[in-house]
Amino acid sequence: MTRSKLTLGPRLTALTAMVVVLASAALKPHLSRPFSAGQVEASLGGGREHAQLGEETAQHAATLQALDLLRNAQAMLAIGSSDGVDEKLANAETALSGRTRLDVEAAREELANEDLFLARQYLAAALAERRPLR
């Protein structure tokens, strides 16, 4: 068996080289032809739509994660624990915008003043304003 493998080796290499040469020759006319403006735009347009959809999906996921952090922080404050809550709120704040973000900022300020009740109230307001789409 070793003898037949040795004899096939050079033949396979030559056959592979021949396939590559033939494929290159067959594709050469298609590759040397320039793309039309419409083809380029169609190609780029599809990529842009895909990228935009990916960004929207990532932003939605980040918002959902931020809302989970807010709920977790609110539950911790409800039992009187403020350890690590400011970090959770800071992480959540980056994914939020508008009135929701302002409420989280206000909650962090009240947390710094050690007023857990008001911090919870601001978090409740933030969560009421920013309900995720289902």
pLDDT in tens, 101-126: 999 999 999 999 999 999 999 999 99
Which range of residues forms the domain containing residue 124?
A: 53-129
Give, in order, the Cα–Cα distances in Å from 61 to each of 1, 34, 38, 41, 133: 58, 41, 34, 30, 11
Check which CATH number belongs to the domain holding 124 and give it: 1.20.120.1940
Does 107 reside within a domain?
Answer: yes
- In tens, the pLDDT along 52-97 reads 777 888 888 999 999 999 999 999 999 999 999 999 999 999 999 9
Alpha carbon distance 105, 74 (integer Å):
14
Q: Are 62 and 95 in contact (CB under 8 A)?
A: yes
**Number of structural domains found in the chain:** 1
**Three-class SS state of 83:** coil
The answer to whether residue 8 sits within a structural domain is: no
Residue 109 belongs to some domain of the structure = yes
